[in-house]
Amino acid sequence: MIELRDVRKAFGRQQVLDGLDLTVEAGSSYAVMGPSGSGKSVLLKHVIGLLKPDSGRVLVAGHSVPELHREELRDLRRDMGYLFQHGALINWLSVFDNIALPLRETTAMGEEEVRGRVEKVLGQVQLSGTDDKYPSEISGGMQKRVGLARALVTEPSVILYDEPEAGLDPGMSQAISELMRQIQTELEMTSLVVTHSDRCARIVADRLGIFEKGRFLVEGTPAEVLDSDHPRVREFLGPKRS
Amino acid sequence: MDPISKLGSSFIAPLVQQAGFGMWLSGRTLALIPHCLKRRRSLLDQMYLTGFKSAHVVAFVAFFIGMIVALQIGLKLAQYGQQDSIGMLVAISMAREMGPFVTAVVLAASVSSAMAAELGTMKVQDELTALEVLSIDSVSYLVLPRVIALTLMAPILTAVADVVGILGGGVIAVTQLQVDFPAYLLSVDEVLRDPGLFGLPQDLYAGLIKSAVFGFTIAIVGCGSGMLAEKGASGVAQTTREAVRTSIILIILFNYFLSWALVA
Ligand SMILES: Nc1ncnc2c1ncn2[C@@H]1O[C@H](COP(=O)(O)OP(=O)(O)O)[C@@H](O)[C@H]1O
Ligand SMILES: [Mg+2]
């Protein structure tokens, strides 16, 4: 379970998180939508302990993230996956080695088992056969999928996605969303997804929150929120689709 | 802001922060030395990249430095008919001072900047954050192999510089000073025989110890600058420039203190 209570965070004079509350039930999937530059990535970085709140509580699986020591945080993160907005692949490692990296570095897994796991996730993100390519040789969308594969390969129980569908064409975006949903339900992962796409939110999420000015404006099931008549929500999402 | 607090916040504060980070990084790297076994592949890669790829530049520069030293001192010596001891003087200058220094400057210009650019690019593209999130220690994964590789390669390159520089001096001795080559080598041999610690000639090992410290410093500055790179278009460029400047300044400072300590 992910729980944030009254979290505040400012950079200089800019109040990015302003009394934010969020609950993601264990094994469920929560999507966050909001204007760009509003602090959605900052929110994810608090959950994985890259940023500390100025005040408020951040809990993941019962651990207070900002208070964890280095080693404890490391242990917690072994059970978490994070997909970066731009993939953040290690540029001098091949696709295969990028995905194998967390297994080789933080587990005692043999090379045989590593290969099996990597091939499996590569298949899931529809990238079989690109093992030997380097990040600079593949498209942005493919980099994103490799990033997704790297986040999934350790089979974490909590996973955070920063705009997983950005830069993908609509077909691929739908496929990735369905894949995220399938893996999330199969492995009973707790997932928090920042997205710009209402289609992605509908496929992926059990609950959806619209984020604005440092806190959530409305929350509910994706259908409730996306079809709501709340004026600020309509302003952000545009007119209802029939 | 008044001028003094401006000076403080824009110049002194970053300097203190960088120095502090450099010291932390040095300590952490030394503490992780046992990881070298696990990192042997990248250690060897880095030794090849930093060492062999710089060797020809080091040799080229050292050859000319050897000739310059021989010319400057030799012509003076010849006025007093002392040109037979030119070999000794070139050997001492190369082994104690010019070999380590020339090698360090070449490495600062090429390797320190390359490391800063490489890690700086990783920093601005979130790759360092990605490592952190994956629970991979970037000091062990990235910094340790680079620093240890350069600490080991710098003395080896310095030894190359010493030999090539002495040969360069020999060319001048033979062509300009009419000293025949065997006599030149005999004079060189005189200094390098003077035994010191570990049975190595004193002048030689003093220079090699210095160069190991230079190699360590250059790599720490390169990696550290990269890790502190700021996002934005000019972030990596600025970091690269600073890495070269800072490593050359530190080499000169450390050179003075080490020369002092190793002579005493
Ligand atoms: N480490 C940081 N230091 C200073 N400002 C930051 C930092 N991270 C994010 N910000 C600022 O916080 C705001 C929200 O950023 P972000 O979370 O990336 O937005 P988005 O909702 O598009 O993901 C932006 O204005 C950004 O400039
Ligand atoms: Mg973002």
Of ligand 1's atoms, which has the minimum distance to the CA of residue A43?
Answer: 17
**Mean pLDDT value across chain B:** 90
Structural domains in chain A (count) = 1
A21 inside domain:
no
A168 inside domain:
yes
- Kindly state the percentage of chain B with pLDDT values over 90: 66
**pLDDT digits 0-9 by tens, A97-121:** 999 999 999 888 999 999 999 999 9
Residue B132 pLDDT grade (very low, low, confident, very high; cuts 50, 70, 90) = very high
Q: Of all residues in chain A, what percent are helix, strand and coil, respectively (each to 5)?
A: 40, 25, 35
Tell me which of A47, A75, A84, A159 to substitute to probe the interface with B (most B C-beta atoms closer than 10 Å).
Answer: A84
CATH code of the domain containing A90: 3.40.50.300
B21 inside domain:
no
Question: Near ion ligand 2, which residues have CB within 5 Å?
Answer: A 41
CB nearest B136 (choices: A50, A88, A105)? A105
Global pTM exceeds 0.95: no
Range of the domain at B219: 35-262
A183 inside domain:
yes
B23 inside domain:
no
Is this complex scored with an ipTM above 0.85? yes
B105 inside domain:
yes
Cα(A150) to ligand 2 centroid in Å equals 19
The pLDDT value given to residue B192: 73
B39 inside domain:
yes
The pLDDT value given to residue B1: 63
* C-alpha distance from residue A187 to each of A70, A108, A134 (Å): 27, 22, 29
Question: For residues B148 and B144, what is the distance between their CA atoms, to the nearest angstrom?
Answer: 6
Six-digit token pair at A53? 């709140």
Query: Is the predicted pLDDT of residue B197 greater than 70, yes or no?
Result: no
The pLDDT value given to residue A69: 93
Range of the domain at A110: 26-51+68-237
| Number of Cβ atoms within 10 Å of the Cβ of B182 | 8
Residue A77 pLDDT grade (very low, low, confident, very high; cuts 50, 70, 90) = very high
The pLDDT value given to residue A22: 95
**Mean pLDDT value across chain A:** 91
Question: For residues B142 and A91, what is the distance between their CA atoms, to the nearest angstrom?
Answer: 13
Query: Is the predicted pLDDT of residue B195 greater than 80, yes or no?
Result: no
Question: For residues B143 and B223, what is the distance between their CA atoms, to the nearest angstrom?
Answer: 6
A47 inside domain:
yes
Please give the average per-residue pLDDT across B206-224, as a whole number: 95
Residues facing A219 on adjacent strands: A209
Of ligand 1's atoms, which has the minimum distance to the CA of residue A194?
Answer: 23
Residues of B within an 8 Å Cβ radius of A: 121-122, 125-127, 129-136, 141
**pLDDT digits 0-9 by tens, A121-167:** 998 888 888 889 999 999 888 888 899 899 989 989 999 999 988 87
B63 inside domain:
yes
Question: For residues A26 and A61, what is the distance between their CA atoms, to the nearest angstrom?
Answer: 8
Query: Is the predicted pLDDT of residue B106 greater than 60, yes or no?
Result: yes
DSSP per-residue codes, A157-225: SEEEEESTTTTS-HHHHHHHHHHHHHHHHHTT-EEEEE-S-HHHHHHH-SEEEEEETTEEEEEE-HHHH
Residue A18 pLDDT grade (very low, low, confident, very high; cuts 50, 70, 90) = very high
Question: For residues A77 and B186, what is the distance between their CA atoms, to the nearest angstrom?
Answer: 65
B7 inside domain:
no
Question: For residues A119 and A110, what is the distance between their CA atoms, to the nearest angstrom?
Answer: 14
B10 inside domain:
no
B77 inside domain:
yes
Structural domains in chain B (count) = 1
Question: For residues B199 and A20, what is the distance between their CA atoms, to the nearest angstrom?
Answer: 69
A91 lines ligand 1 (CB under 6 A): no
A12 lines ligand 1 (CB under 6 A): no
